Amino acid sequence: MNPEFTDTFVIETKTSLANHETRLITIEETVKDIKDLTLSVREIALNQKAMDEKIDGLTTQVKEVVDTPKKNWITIRTAILSSLGGAIGTGIIALLVNFLK
């Protein structure tokens, strides 16, 4: 075999190996970055789920706060109408009693 050819082949092989090692290091770094990104996305998803649950609880509380004045108004209106109805009924009965005397 030709020594010059062998030397050239060894040099090319070493260069190729160095290139492959560099590519492998780059790929390993990329895989690590993707793994870190995946963990970050998982953490964000868990935080989002927790926030959704808190928002659902707050929504229920806000609905209760909004509905309370409405319920109070219905109670007040019912009391007023009942009082007026009682007063009118009592007045009519009083008129009938006076009329029948």
pLDDT in tens, 54-89: 999 999 989 888 888 888 888 999 999 999 999 999
Instruction: Say if pTM beats, i.e. exceeds, 0.95.
Output: no
Helix/strand/coil for 101: coil
Query: Residue with structure tokens 């109670």?
Result: 75
pLDDT of residue 2: 76
Query: Residue with structure tokens 């963990």?
Result: 39
Query: Residue with structure tokens 């928002």?
Result: 55
Look over the chain and give the mean of its residue pLDDT values, rounded to a whole number: 90
How many angstroms separate the CA atoms of 32 and 12, rounded? 30
pLDDT at 1 over 70: no
Residue-wise DSSP of 6-50: HHHHHHHHHHHHHHHHHHHHHHHHHHHHHHHHHHHHHHHHHHHHH
Which pair of tokens denotes residue 80?
Answer: 């007023």
pLDDT at 43 over 90: yes
